[in-house]
Structure 1
């Protein structure tokens, strides 16, 4: 556990975490709750969400499991209403849900292209739609307000066969910069987290042999990041004084050079 924070610096915060059923999202939901936030967990896998919410509750935190497909705008609207009813206004959004599907462009894996665009881009946009008014309102009341988006080092690296995935992540990094031109003026902090190789289930979705080998070799050869490392970074972004916006953080394993 790479904890650098202690106490309850996120007390009285209400957080929404998407992609909260595993990996970075699950670890971040648990960490935010441990630091005092009330946390709504959104993802499609209800059983995983319920198990995470139960762990949070057993440790004295507050959690709401909301099975939600973030590519479904109506489902997100229903989730937002449920969060409001349980916890009130949201002031911390971690838009983390995403998928990585790697293939040569000539394979014409159009369904995979669509899935990545729908989840990695549209899912984030729909999450913003559901909660941006809350963030603006919280900031107007003088409270901290954070929109934190999971991008990737792939947004800036040139990796063969990663064109669609990397394109979606480049969109998110640029989106974060552009959103600050509007939301920053309203005292809403906007941040992009760009991890390198993290030992999560995300690479399990990769069917291309070369990409799978690249990731497997990294995990085998170097001390890669863990989900807890990203969770602590997200928590730190939200815990710094509200006039401080850590707008773009690249997190790499020390030994990762590609």
Structure 2
């Protein structure tokens, strides 16, 4: 294992769910953590529980101006970042036949373009950290929806498939600089994400939870903590995490 107490981390989507669980585990392992999400009040509340080496940065990944301002605050507080976790995401039921362009755009802007904004902002940090002999990690939280077809969720699945492919391509670009890229694809997980769905979608998730038994956000946080604490010569490139009963 490598020492997480010397790591400077950024976690998006940290106001709830998987992002909050990841940020919590990294902070408890000793890392300095910038908690990133839109809801500043939730970030401040979580940072207050995790201690002085964590702080909240209200930031909207769908806005370049917001990202630029937030990244400046993070650099002012942390200096060079060596661990970035892209956990912000949104899942909406938006069947193609319904033509919900606003919902499609929201998912693309958050799940894909938002990740690209953070990657663009922190890639120089990751390369610099690795060049100085430090461990450097980029972790993207994708979804089993990148591979499995769920009727009515074509655009969500497409964004996650794009993120999974992007992660593989980024590893090809960044591995020569000793920057690790890890893509994690959770299956059915009990998080706030399901509350974004319409009533039929929420009923479907509730039924799946009852039949299958979902993972918990802490399960995914365990995987992230494990992956980023390996010796810097080992990169866990792709991790798929499913409930035992999910096919």
Tell me which residue corresponds to 1:168.
Answer: 159
- Name which of 181, 189, 195 aligns with 1:204: 195
Cα contact 2:47–2:54 (8 A) shared by 1: yes
3-state secondary structure, aligned to 1:90? coil
Tell me which residue corresponds to 2:134.
Answer: 143
Tell me which residue corresponds to 2:170.
Answer: 179
Query: Superposition pairs for residues 178-257 of structure 1, below 5 Å?
Result: 178-207=169-198, 209=200, 211-257=201-247
- Structure 1 runs, 4 residues or longer, greater than 4 Å off: none
Tell me which residue corresponds to 2:49.
Answer: 55
After TM superposition, the score normalised by the length of structure 1 is 0.93
Q: How many matched pairs?
A: 247
d(CA) in 2 for partners of 1:74, 1:115 = 17
Unaligned segments of structure 1, at least 5 residues: none
Deviation at 1:156, TM superposition (A): 0.3
Which has the higher mean CA deviation after the structures are superposed, 68-77 or 212-221?
212-221
Query: Superposition pairs for residues 8-157 of structure 1, below 5 Å?
Result: 9-57=3-51, 62-157=53-148
Deviation at 1:208, TM superposition (A): 6.0
d(CA) in 1 for partners of 2:3, 2:214 = 28
Deviations 1:58-95, CA, capped at 9 Å, x for gaps: xxx51011100011122222222212221211000001
Cα contact 2:11–2:85 (8 A) shared by 1: yes
d(CA) in 2 for partners of 1:44, 1:212 = 23
Cα contact 2:94–2:104 (8 A) shared by 1: no
d(CA) in 2 for partners of 1:77, 1:235 = 27
RMSD: 1.3
Deviations 1:153-198, CA, capped at 9 Å, x for gaps: 0000011111000000000000011111110111000011100011
Deviations 1:130-151, CA, capped at 9 Å, x for gaps: 1111001001111100000010
After TM superposition, the score normalised by the length of structure 2 is 0.97
Deviation at 1:235, TM superposition (A): 0.8
Deviation at 1:222, TM superposition (A): 2.7
Unaligned segments of structure 2, at least 5 residues: none
